[in-house]
Chains A and B, each alone.
Chain A
Amino acid sequence: MKEFQEGSLAVAEIVRMCKPGVVSAYPITPQTHIVEELAQMVANGDLKAQCINVESEHSAASAVFGASAAGVRSYTATSSQGLFYMAEVLFNIAGVRLPIVMTCANRAISAPINIWNDQQDAVSLRDCGWVQVYAEDVQEAVDLHMIAYRLAEDKNIMLPVMVNMDGFVLTHGIETVDMPSQEQVDKYLPSYTPLYKLDIKNPMTIGPLVDPDYYMETRYAIQETHKSVLGMLPKLTEEFSKVFGRTYNGLVEGYRLDDAEKAFVAMGSVCGTTKEAIDSMRKKGKKVGLLKISCYRPFPHQAIYEALKNVKKVAVLDRALSLGSYAPLASEIKSVFFGKKKGPQTISSFIVGLGGRDITVHSIEEAYKLIGKKETCEFIDLKPELLKENYA
């Protein structure tokens, strides 16, 4: 049923329909509306879950660790500093192979403290073993939560999934969303039966000390499972479209790429603005398109190669930095083409929209002008007058 809905409330609604048994979260802007809504659903009896109001994000992640280890579907949500405070638990959850789903309302990282949107939080935690998917709009954010649980709980996967949605832009943006019925969700997402759990009838030790004789194999196993995710995600999205009628690729999605000579690459809500800019440029006869990265971990090297191998010039839009080096997404896009026969002549890298700075159609057009001229980390929409200030 189509509704005009705030992103956070729509996500809370779909999480309710996914029927987690335990929800634990700690408030942080701009994630709050999601967990407030879930708490209200529990208070009203609409969601039969245990809600744990923990004293920190570290404990939020730890509590869902415990709940998931006890064999119950669990959910948490966070953002920015909260995600960083969870960091060691996130590695731990992936290492113990617990199928937890978390929403990350992407937000800038302090200092300076800034509550607005970019993707530095999740991108900085790309190596923690979680699958990371990014939503372009509220509808995709909703749909990705169902897909995330299916993926996480698949017996061949058993990995946690982080659903990323841009803070404020998507969490507080109000959009038309097609909300599924409970019957549809139940059809797509069966109830969770764990492979192993804390069980007095079948006692086992989970999370032991592992010495050099075994450690590498555990990491190798996760690395290999991430390869399986690349095969599994498109299957799950195909199945998804049969139930819900909406089609996703799961890994990457091209927009007006078929005859494109130049292409942008981006993740998250900036894709919407970029599509608008592309439409406008196309009207002026410019052969330009977009490759949206839906799945950032595992990184879909092959799908990206296939999508961009015939494009002449590529421009990567990063909303995060790896301070002191090339931009994170741009580096990886470049790595896709190393040693390949086909591929773009140039790959330019642009930094846009840090700390909530607006990304407009004009920003994208500015970047377009610089494609092929600037190769590394060109900041778009900088204010030159601020750069003259001298703090020495």
Chain B
Amino acid sequence: MFGPLICKPGSSKNNKTGSWRVEVKPKFLQKNCIACKMCLVICPEACITGNEKNTYICDYQYCKGCGNCAAICPKQDIVMIKEDSKE
């Protein structure tokens, strides 16, 4: 019989919210990064990874393009670019 209703942990990963982006996406320049982790800390989608300087990157499968990573980066090493840019 159907139920009780239980969801498996972390199963929201099946939902690829990257398709929500319409205008802009972040570009991680990986030039002046100081590994302060602030982009990772601020990302509402929990989709930024990285360990050392100039290794940070986001998972475009989930990134909704909000731009807070670019806004918080103290080195302006993340820029928002047009969604259809070839990068």
Contacts and interface: CB of A to CB of B under 8 A. Distances in A.
Contacts of A204: 6-9
Contacts of A392: none
Contact of B2 (A96, A195, A196, A220): A220
Interface residues of A, number: 20
Contacts of B4: 96-97, 158, 195-196, 206
Interface in B1-57: 1-9
A103 to B, nearest CB: 24
Nearest to B10: A203
Contacts of A210: 5
Contact of A203 (B1, B2, B3, B9): B9
Contacts of B1: 221, 224-225
A218 B6 contact: no
Interface in A71-102: 96-97
Contacts, number: 38
B3 A97 contact: yes
Nearest to A207: B5
B8 A217 contact: no
A208 interface: yes
A158 B1 CA distance: 12
A220 to B, nearest CB: 7
Nearest to A206: B6
A218 B9 contact: no
Interface in A219-255: 220-222, 224-225
A81 B7 CA distance: 35
A205 interface: yes
B2 A221 contact: yes
Nearest to B7: A205
A88 to B, nearest CB: 18
B5 A208 contact: yes
A196 B7 CA distance: 12
Contacts of A207: 5
A95 to B, nearest CB: 8
A373 to B, nearest CB: 47
Nearest to A97: B4
A96 B7 CA distance: 13
Interface of B: 1-9
21 contacts: A97-B4, A158-B4, A196-B6, A204-B6, A204-B7, A205-B6, A205-B8, A206-B4, A206-B5, A207-B5, A208-B5, A208-B7, A214-B2, A214-B5, A217-B2, A217-B3, A221-B1, A221-B2, A221-B3, A224-B1, A225-B1
